[in-house]
Structure 1
Amino acid sequence: MIRPLMTRPSPLARRRWLALSCALLGVAAPLAVQAQAWPVKPVKLQVPFAPGGTTDIIARVVAERLGGPLGQTVVVENKAGGGGSVGATETARATPDGYSLGMATVSTTAANPAINPKITYDPLTDFTPIINIAATPNVIVVHPSFPARDYKGFVAELKKNPGRYSYASSGTGGIGHLQMELYKSLSGVFVTHIPYRGAGPALNDTVAGQVPIMFDNLPSALPFIKDGRLVPIVVASAERVAVLPQVPTFKEVGLAPVNRMAYYGIIGPKGLPREVVDKVSSAVRTAVALPEVKKRIEDTGSVLVLNSPEAFAAQIKAEYAVYKDVVARRKLSLD
């Protein structure tokens, strides 16, 4: 049997083979990294308001328990300013790799973009909606020194003294601002707006009596209501709230259009992979299913929503349209 002669490859052939091998490894390495299951490091959940407000409360309650189903720590980071637009802008500009997520509210994805032409993000196209965690009633509260303690007396006092009183909000363009403007347009009362850098600071000054009125989210106001340091006047909710059974809704006082609840959801920058969206959504559902988490959220007066990304996107679009109309009809501006 004649065996074929075995020839050694030339130096040039060996160099070409090595170059090809390195090129293939260069392609395989990032593919291997991409194939790793997300997340492989801690995830940031940005709250676009100061600590102490409802957005912060909901974010921290859920984030504490997301680490289990995700397998990584979820770190809450507060970045206040611009009625929530500063933090929201950072989320919109983040790399869409799933490691920078943000809390979405009516203020950041509807009310503020509706009034502020300087906001650089489009709430309908620059985010990836993931899940709406909860819907929360808003409530008009007054300091105990206010002359009235019920809705009838509240309206009578404001109409008797137009321009005498002011109200605090989480910031110009926030839901507390625009929802109060919607209320003013329908009720015929006039109170002066005082914007703050978040619901927490605004609430602190209202509790201290520096500002007599606030249109706030129920979860952050409720502890002070229970302590008698704030008086609830009327709530924006489809039905009376179980924790405030004596307080009427706007519908009951003839102002049904003001019955718009706030939402607290999670979003990412546009282009977020569906794998990340689904994992975060599933992890939130797992966390909220824990009895202690569910109870902590519902005890604030919030209602769990836990909808799909598509449903959340539709909700954002609908709220944005509502507040664009409020701004146009009230001729509101940042000046």
Structure 2
Amino acid sequence: MTTGPFSKDDGRGRPGAESRKVIHVDMDAFYASVEQRDNPDLRGKPVAVGGASRRGVVAAASYEARKFGVRSAMASVTASRKCPELIFVKPRFDAYRAISQQIRMIFAQYTDLIEPLSLDEAYLDVTQNKLAAPLATQIAEDIRAKIRAETGLTASAGVSYNKFLAKLASDYRKPDGLFVITPKMGPVFVESLAVERFHGVGPATAAKMKGLGIETGADLKACALRFLENHFGKAGAYYYWVARGIDERPVRPDRIRKSIGAENTFFDDLAEFEAMHDALRPILDKLWRHCEGAGIRGRTVTLKMKFSDFRIITRGRSISGCVNSRDELEAISLDLLRPLLPRVLGVRLLGVSISNLVSSEDDGGGAGQMILL
């Protein structure tokens, strides 16, 4: 792999978009790897972090488990069926948060432009870095080596000139890998990708794209901007530009999360309350795992519903304290859902978000406090 300055100044006294040097660091099977590190009996065995009950969900799966098709967000009963030898371990979010802070201290040795996405991944802008290192690749290698030495865990990294491509690159040689996408490689690399590989394209969107004859990045690139906006709304512009390897979003170290949420678009429109209740469960599981992992709680729950005609409505409820359990989150979400039914139009998307965020260690006196994730 070769690297170098991504581009020259754009003539206006600041670096052009392609001169950025962005690293995406993604820990390998983070929760499961921590459990295997701390318990030698689990090493080399298929491990799932999560609950083994009928309603349990896999929060993370070791690579040994992934060979059987076990994935995060999968129902525990399904995971057990795929891998009868699967070992379930209860999550220890305090331990994961402590290790995550340790890793971020390593990042801070190189740059202050760090945008955490979760406990196990982050973007770093190292265009101007603290060591004046000319090569982003070398910084990524140093970071991976320090993470291994100080935590006993492995990380994969992607290096590129924007966030979209850096994230793609980090996934390219997992686990324990490093991949670089240069400006010369970027557009061609994107053209060869299946649309499912695009960050932000879920199963339902991928199916819709394929129904329109869009199966690869090259197919997406061939679509007009207006066509994509007509079919995918505001996301159409995003698809249009990333299909060309263009992503101008900066790495935002000061990004303040006012809310966190999860949603899902369905292959078939939903009409009945029970079907929507079932569809909400994995959404709520994902959202609550994020709350637990980040150590945050919130006072306001908002339900989002998109209909078959793409019209969107939201309903929210604030409580005096914080939502302190997944069951409480589900109860409030269902209370928001019931008055909205029945509907003439089918529902194609459901989402739930939590806002008015506070630390889970807050004493409750900071109403409306916002935190960095």
**TM value normalised by structure 2:** 0.23
Task: Return the structure number with greater relative CO, CA threshold 8 A, min gap 6.
Answer: 1
**Structure whose CA Rg is larger:** 1
